[in-house]
Structure 1
Amino acid sequence: MKILMIEDNESVAQMMDMFFQKEKWDYKNAYDGEEGLQLFEDAPDDWDIITLDLNLPKMDGMEVAKHIRETSQTVPLIMLTARDTESDQVLGLDIGADDYVTKPFSPMTLIARIKALHRRADIQQEPQTQVNEDFDVQTAHFSLSTKTREAFLDGKEIPGLTPKEFDLLRTLAHNPKQVFSREQLLQLVWEYEYYGDERTVDAHIKKLRQKIEKVGPQVIQTVWGVGYKFDDSGLDS
């Protein structure tokens, strides 16, 4: 795996360097936002994972993330930050981060997040010679294809799904009307035990709902005090 870490804290970078070497991962660190963005733009297809601190000199991490997403919608991006407010987290996810880790963090926790995100990214660059012939999930209103990473509501494609949003939608839609707790979704979609709060699920659900609502009625329902479920049975035929 080839990792680009954009982190201005030398002690954090040196600590992770030891763990990356232990995993035998190719690793490059940039100590400010401009340098990190330049390393990415020099070879945007070379990186398997990017970890990005938000509080960076020369260029803020949010701005770096925006530029990265203008070039690539699929490179997995983990934000690292000492900020721990819901607005910061949601903003980072809005920009296109796939995961969010607050400092201080355990190195093994970050390693687990990187491995899980790398497994789940499933970035496929196959030419679309066959268009939506087979769907993993198909109802009267909704269809989803893991092969093409596309989802449709009443024949309209749900636009701009990130890898994590697609995996979250697939997990819910594969089990219609089943209620999933936030903890269950973290384990199923992110594939790790989450030892912080569970707002990352809420933030992804919020963005997923916004994209669904661009093409049709809402199919992700909140079950108060429990979690979320997929249900399109109440839509008009």
Structure 2
Amino acid sequence: MEHNKILIVDDDAKLRELLTRYLGQQGYVVDTLPDARELDRKLARNRPDLMVLDVMMPGDDGLAVVRRLRAQGETVPVIMLTARGEDVDRILGLEMGADDYLPKPFNPRELTARIQSVLRRHHATPALAARHESDEVIEFGEFQLNLGRRELLKNQQALSLTTAEFAVLTVLATHPRRPLTREQLMEMALGKGNGESLDRSIDVHISRLRKTLEGGDSPLRFIQTVWGYGYVFVPDGSERE
């Protein structure tokens, strides 16, 4: 049985030691870094299945790191640790491309649950993938969403999505023209109940998806807001009546 590899990037030595021991007991293979200086080399030599990244670090902070990685096309799932206790840090992390966040201090059990949730999405778990054939492709505009291969193509060129963005887009695209509330998207795409995360986190994932799908001068709007309710996916991108 192959064990998932987790990379912890945090300048708190005691926390790194605690998480290494605890996650190791849960069956994960854990590696750590005190800051981001050696991160690129680590990703190239021994790429993890998931990275836990602290926001507040010496040198490049976690927000700058995840923004740079996503700009480079790096898709490794990222859970950000935020210490300030302010929603703005969590939202910024999601806007930069993080898949989830966890405020400090936290119980290691909670981190383990978040890791399991993100990895399930990343590996196409039954919650989303079992309902679809392995070769099912949803086409809209210039895009092809391949559910089995978990990739989004534009004119046959692969686009970079986080695990959360792919999950949200999959739920929307498999329910075309059906308005979905934020709570439904939270549960169906991210496996979270209404009290587990901010409604705003769904808005951030939608915003990033729109930039990917509707950039430039295109008049098409595939993900449309249903005011006072949520969002709806319109395959032809036309305005809803």
The answer to whether the 8 Å contact 2:77/2:162 transfers is: no
Q: What letter corresponds to residue 228 of structure 1 in structure 2?
A: Y
Structure 1 residue 140, shift from structure 2 partner = 7.7
**CA–CA separation in structure 2 for the residues paired with 1:46 and 1:190:** 24
**CA–CA separation in structure 1 for the residues paired with 2:57 and 2:139:** 45
**CA–CA separation in structure 2 for the residues paired with 1:70 and 1:151:** 17
Aligned: 1:55 with 2:60:
no
Show the counterpart of 2:112: 111
Show the counterpart of 1:182: 182
Structure 2 CA distance for partners of 1:16 and 1:183, relative to 1, 3 Å: farther
Q: SS at 2:205's partner residue? A: helix
Q: What letter corresponds to residue 206 of structure 1 in structure 2?
A: S
Structure 2 CA distance for partners of 1:135 and 1:53, relative to 1, 3 Å: same
Q: What letter corresponds to residue 59 of structure 2 in structure 1?
A: K
Residue 27 of structure 1: which of 30, 47, 50 is its match? 30
Aligned length: 222
The answer to whether the 8 Å contact 2:82/2:89 transfers is: no
**CA–CA separation in structure 1 for the residues paired with 2:100 and 2:200:** 11
Residue 10 of structure 2: which of 7, 10, 24 is its match? 7
Q: SS at 1:57's partner residue? A: coil
Structure 1 residue 169, shift from structure 2 partner = 0.9
Q: What letter corresponds to residue 173 of structure 1 in structure 2?
A: A
Show the counterpart of 2:78: 77
Give RMSD over aligned pairs.
Answer: 3.1
Structure 2 CA distance for partners of 1:10 and 1:181, relative to 1, 3 Å: farther
Structure 2 CA distance for partners of 1:108 and 1:160, relative to 1, 3 Å: same
**CA–CA separation in structure 2 for the residues paired with 1:69 and 1:221:** 25
The answer to whether the 8 Å contact 1:141/1:232 transfers is: no
Q: What letter corresponds to residue 24 of structure 1 in structure 2?
A: G
Q: Any unmatched runs of 5+ in structure 1? A: 124-133
Q: TM-score, normalised by structure 2?
A: 0.76
**CA–CA separation in structure 1 for the residues paired with 2:212 and 2:107:** 33
1:119-178 alpha-carbon deviations (Å, 9 max, x no partner): 22149xxxxxxxxxx6433468865221341255xx687943333212211111101122
**CA–CA separation in structure 2 for the residues paired with 1:136 and 1:198:** 29
Q: Any unmatched runs of 5+ in structure 2? A: 125-134
Q: What letter corresponds to residue 183 of structure 1 in structure 2?
A: E
Q: What letter corresponds to residue 93 of structure 1 in structure 2?
A: L
Q: SS at 2:37's partner residue? A: helix
Q: What letter corresponds to residue 199 of structure 1 in structure 2?
A: R
The answer to whether the 8 Å contact 2:75/2:161 transfers is: no
Q: What letter corresponds to residue 120 of structure 2 in structure 1?
A: R
Show the counterpart of 2:172: 172
Q: What letter corresponds to residue 146 of structure 2 in structure 1?
A: S
Structure 1 residue 27, shift from structure 2 partner = 0.8
The answer to whether the 8 Å contact 2:221/2:237 transfers is: no
